[in-house]
Amino acid sequence: MTCEEALDRPPDDSPEAAAHLASCASCRAREEAFARDGALLAAGLRGLAARPGLEAAILRRVARASRFRRAIPVAAAAALFLGILALVLRPEGGELPAAEREDSLPEPVFTSEDPLWGAVIATDPAAGTVAVSAGADDRVLPGQVLTLYRRGGAAETEVGTVRIERVEPGWSSGRLVDRRADPQVGDFFVSERLLGPEERARLLEYLFTFRPVPEREILDLVGRLEADPGAGPRLLALGAPVRILLEGDRIDLARKVRAREAIARDDDLDRRVRQAGWDHDVEFLARLRDPRAHARLRSILSGVRPFSREGVPPPGARLSATLHDWWNAARDRLVWDPRADRWRER
Amino acid sequence: MRDYPTMDLLGVLAPEGVEAEGAWAARAGRGEHPAFARLVQRHAADALASALGLLRDRGEAEEAVQEAFCRAWKSLASLRDAAKFKGWFAGILYRVCCDVLRARRRDRKALPEVGRARPVSALPEAGAGPVVDEALRLPDEYREPLVLFYLQELTVAELAETLGLSESNAKVRLHRARKMLRERLERKGLP
């Protein structure tokens, strides 16, 4: 086989082509260049196409199309969980005063990704079985292992793990495979491990990068990436606003690829925060005891009633309960606008 | 040698790779939504990257991917060999993208922004940026096989089926595309 024939040959693993490539350095270099181009094309397009929450959006649409019951979004699951928790924690004889209720709310939980969580709704200590508030509609599968936790003090304590045996549409049950304490109704479960304090801190830091940044500043840094070695780290430090701008059409492809390479270190954080919707989860933000969380709430609620006129209530004991009630009443008329980075009326 | 089965993310004992995918596709074909969710999880990102390569428009690409998964879900029961899900789905995605392109031509929409990306000569080094830039400027008939081959990682036989060509024609088309891309990159001084 001649070089001409080898180079004109399409991708081929025939013995003749392989033998020629092994003996001809120039053809081999050519073939390697083809492979490199292909790999760079795939990597570049994958980088450009990265889109947190894509899977969730697809599944929602599929569910609508097939008239399947919609999977419970994370925010709704969190609301459901909080509701259950509030019921469980409520003492006999009435509701807690607001200040105490605020104190009883634990710090938010972060899971590793795509969290599936809910509450223990029944236990049978003798048989070692547990029923939980999520079932086939929530993607629970037989054989799935869930970790049980209990609120209390500053951190959650692990109660044990349960392997699911029976799955019904709205609930499922399974057997304890690891027991560190007796599970109780009101304990909660997650499908993934909880993050440690360090990871939580990093995630929170990233969450609070969602803030207004002048577009000109980002565009300027993106433009200087090739010439200024300091531009990359500064772009990375700006956090989420850079990604949101990169998802639009303001920057050409080549610059986008370079910018994505510069901020790739935080891809994982971004995926966790935005895929779970933490960045615009009103109830979640209301429970964070951090002034930046309140600033974020003011920003994302600035276009919806009644906060557009009255402003968001100040931080404090009542904020969480107030926003919880408001959210339950308002969520059907709201839609998240990722471009504007805020909730808006439908 | 057969791989040992590993515990997958959902805690279900499942073999790795194509075998697992075939199992998920078979279960999804029987209407099991969680199994379909696993297929979406595995293929959504690459599908979006491929659609972006085919359509050169982010919004249309996202819409096409969602539509392709909807069509896949509705017709999964008709997939005879569940192990061939990947190639089968690539075909659906390609047809949806063709529909979008046809509609675009019908509506005479302007070429999206990415088609007017800045010249490669302005870029300092050979990286993903220039390659993507040049690949997206290739004519449709050459861009399509490149995207499907490298993003969807189709075999030549699957590529031929997806594009509706004979296997030898698909090979020729792919080869010409690779050659054309290389020549363009070299003309711009990129090794």
CA A111-A115-A120 angle, 5° bins? 95
Nearest CA in chain A to B59: A248
Q: Mark whether A191 and A79 lie in a shared domain.
A: yes
Tens of pLDDT, residue by residue over A80-107, are 554 444 444 333 333 333 333 333 344 4
Give how many domains chain A has, as a whole number.
Answer: 3
Q: Which residues of B50-89 are buried (b: 16+ CB within 10 A; e: fewer)?
A: bbbbbbbbbebbbbbbbbbbbbbbeebeebeebebbbbbb
Please indicate, yes or no, if residue A302 is contained in any of the structural domains.
no
- For tokens 């075909």, the residue is B91
pLDDT at position B92: 92
Average pLDDT over all residues of chain A:
76
Closest residue to A49, CB basis, from B48, B74, B191: B48
Same domain, A218 and A115: no
Structural domain boundaries, residue A37 = 3-49
Residues A174 and A213 in one domain: no
B14: pLDDT strictly greater than 50: no
Residue A64 has pLDDT above 80, yes or no: no
Are A207 and A99 contained in the same domain?
no
Chain A residue with the nearest C-alpha to that of B169? A10
What integer pLDDT is reported at residue A192 of this predicted model? 65
Q: In order of start, what are the domains of chain B with their CATH numbers? A: 15-116 (1.10.1740.10), 119-191 (1.10.10.10)
Q: Answer yes or no: do A139 and A225 share one domain.
A: no
- Higher pLDDT: A50 or A173? It is A173
Q: Which of B37, B52, B124 sits opposite A45 (nearest CB)?
A: B52
Kindly state the tokens that stand for A282: 């009103």
Q: What pLDDT sits at residue A32? A: 83
Residue A300's pLDDT is what? 92
Residues of B in contact with A5 (CB under 8 A): none
Give the pLDDT confidence score for residue A27 in this predicted structure: 81
Please judge whether B10 and A9 are an interchain contact, meaning their C-beta atoms are less than 8 angstroms apart: no
Within 10 Å of residue A247's Cβ, how many Cβ atoms?
18
Average pLDDT for A48-57: 74
Highest mean pLDDT among B34-38, B46-50, B54-58, B106-110: B46-50
Measured CA to CA, the distance from residue A5 to residue A281 in angstroms comes to 61
For residue B189, the distance in angstroms to the closest alpha carbon of chain A comes to: 14
B51 falls in which pLDDT band (50, 70, 90)?
very high
Residue B36 contacts A, CB cutoff 8 Å:
yes
Confidence of residue A343 (pLDDT cuts 50, 70, 90): very high
**Closest Cβ–Cβ partner in A12, A43, A253 for B133:** A253
Confidence of residue A219 (pLDDT cuts 50, 70, 90): very high
What is the spatial distance between Cα B141 and Cα A189, in angstroms, rounded to a whole number? 51
How many beta-carbon pairs below 8 A join chains A and B? 171
User: For residue A240, is it within any domain?
Assistant: yes
Please check whether residue B149 touches A, CB under 8 A.
yes
Segment A162-188 mean pLDDT: 86
ipTM of the complex: 0.79
A10-14, A282-286, A317-321: least confident range: A10-14
Question: Same domain for A211 and A190?
Answer: no
